[in-house]
């Protein structure tokens, strides 16, 4: 199949052209997918006879750019990013809020984008991994992850980095964690144990955890 993806402008719809060769090579799946609206495919409702619900208009401010979308209400924020806006940096790991690979920042707070609907965030400001670098200059956490080898396969990395940004902001604002000894103190010192507990919503199956902790410490200006 041709690589239409590479010629596509950011945000443009994904088109799959079907010709005789495509069908022979890929079977009927491609035909099925093109016959259905993309939102329904992303929402996982292939193959039933239910009428589609009325679409919803959603406006999202993502990485400083305004996007107007018309979506099946089932579309999760993660699917809106990946399937409708081609922002595939946020990853779909478990799709059930257990792995953290889909972590993005909404109004500066980290959340799992797989466990929320895009329409619930109409009018809100979202930052994804694609929005962190300033031109060619990486975000300090991105630099730190590279310098400390904070990954192996890299699949969890965008979630780890977005999560770490949210975590450092939470820590600076004095938010306690489960391992904070004294809750009555206004701010807890960011120890290794604090970083590990606060980052426990991001799983790394390559187990790059020690290097992730070091990278976060560097970005936080702590001795590593």
Q: List interacting residues with another protein (CB under 8 A).
A: 43-45, 50-54, 56, 72-74, 76, 95-97, 100, 103, 109-112, 115-117, 119-120, 163, 166-167, 170, 173-178, 180, 183-184, 186, 196-202
- In whole angstroms, the minimum distance from the beta carbon of 209 to another protein comes to 12
8-state DSSP, 5: G
Q: Please say which residue, 28 or 48, places its beta carbon nearer to another protein.
A: 48
Cβ closer to another protein: 32 or 146? Answer: 32
Q: How far is the CB of 224 from another protein (least distance, A)?
A: 22
CB of 32 to another protein, least distance (A): 18
Nearer to another protein, 26 or 180 (CB): 180
Q: 134-143 contacts: CB < 8 A, separation 24 or more?
A: 139/165, 140/218, 140/219, 141/165, 141/215, 141/216, 141/219, 143/219
Scored b (16 or more CB within 10 A) or e, 132-159 reads: beeeeeebbbbebbeebebbeeebbbbb
- Torsion 46-49-50-52 (CA) sign: positive
Q: Which residues make beta-bridge pairs with 59?
A: 68
Cβ distance to another protein smaller for residue 150 or 159: 159
* Least gap, CB of 15 to another protein (angstroms): 25
Residue closer to another protein (CB basis): 22 or 97: 97
Rounded to the nearest angstrom, the gap between the alpha carbon of residue 6 and the centroid of all alpha carbons in its chain is: 21
Q: What share of the chain is helix, strand, coil (3-state, %, to 5)?
A: 40, 15, 50
Q: What is the DSSP string of 17-34?
A: ---HHHHHHHTTHHHHHH
Sign of CA pseudo-dihedral 40, 56, 102, 194: negative
Number of neighbouring beta carbons within 10 Å of residue 168 = 19
Q: Given the complex with another protein, which of 25 and 107 has the nearer CB atom?
A: 107
In the bound complex, what is the minimum distance in angstroms from residue 113's beta carbon to another protein?
A: 9
Q: How far is the CB of 94 from another protein (least distance, A)?
A: 10
């Amino acid at each position: 199949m041709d690589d239409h993806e590479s010629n596509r402008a950011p945000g443009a719809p994904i088109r799959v052209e079907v010709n005789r060769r495509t069908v022979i090579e890929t079977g009927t799946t491609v035909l099925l997918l093109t016959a259905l609206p993309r939102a329904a495919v992303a929402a996982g409702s292939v193959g039933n006879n239910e009428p589609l619900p009325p679409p919803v208009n959603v406006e999202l401010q993502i990485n400083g750019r305004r996007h107007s979308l018309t979506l099946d209400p089932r579309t999760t924020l993660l699917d809106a990013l990946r399937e409708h806006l081609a922002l595939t940096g946020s990853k779909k790991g478990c799709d059930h809020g257990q792995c953290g690979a889909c972590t993005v920042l909404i109004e500066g707070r980290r959340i799992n984008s797989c466990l929320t609907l895009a329409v619930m965030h109409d009018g809100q400001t979202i930052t994804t991994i694609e929005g962190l670098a300033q031109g060619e200059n990486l975000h300090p956490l991105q630099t730190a992850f590279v310098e400390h080898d904070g990954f192996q396969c890299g699949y969890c990395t965008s979630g780890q980095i977005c999560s770490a940004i949210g975590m450092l902001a939470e820590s600076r604002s004095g938010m306690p964690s489960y391992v904070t000894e004294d809750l009555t103190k206004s701010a807890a010192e960011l120890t290794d144990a604090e970083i590990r507990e606060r980052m426990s919503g991001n799983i790394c199956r390559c187990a790059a955890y020690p290097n992730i902790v070091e990278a976060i410490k560097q970005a936080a200006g702590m001795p590593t």
